[in-house]
Amino acid sequence: MPDLTIREARDNDAEGLIALIGRCFAEYAGCVLDLDAFDRPLLAIASSFAAEGGEVWVAEREGRIVGSGGYADKGGGLFELKRLYVDRSARRQGLASRLLELVETAVAGKGGTAIDLWSDTRFIEAHAFYERHGYRRLPEMRDLADPSNTTEYHFMKELAG
């Protein structure tokens, strides 16, 4: 990843993040951004994550955002992995693993004992990625009632103490 820069996200990254996630969603039929509701935090991503006790990072290549990932504090040692996306052009190069490692290291540094995440049932490759990194799929699922008609699987990883 020598041509990539990973840095903390800023609120003015909105346009690049929206473009990244829009490209990722476009790979799945019926999956769309909902900037009026569910995806509204993208408009001020750093502030949004900070309000949830978290952090978020972006990866850039030649000034274009090609990856993102962050976490939110859910309390009691539980944190949630959120907004882990990698552009097709940057996949299979270790970027998602690097972003996940940043999240897990930050969460461990805050005394986190576990990380959970919710992932659209359509994101099959992402599920395999999470499982390779020690996340296990839990039995519960949730429906978001959003414009994408999203149903999500729940994943969890206990952190070594």
Q: State the pTM of this model.
A: 0.94
Q: Which tens digits make up the pLDDT trace of 2-46?
A: 689 999 999 999 999 999 999 999 999 999 999 998 899 999 999
Q: Which tens digits make up the pLDDT trace of 82-132?
A: 999 999 999 999 999 999 999 999 999 999 999 999 999 999 999 999 999
3-state secondary structure of 97: helix
Sheet holding 78-86, edge to edge: 4-8, 55-61, 64-75, 78-86, 114-120, 151-158, 136-143
Domains along the chain with CATH numbers: 4-158 (3.40.630.30)
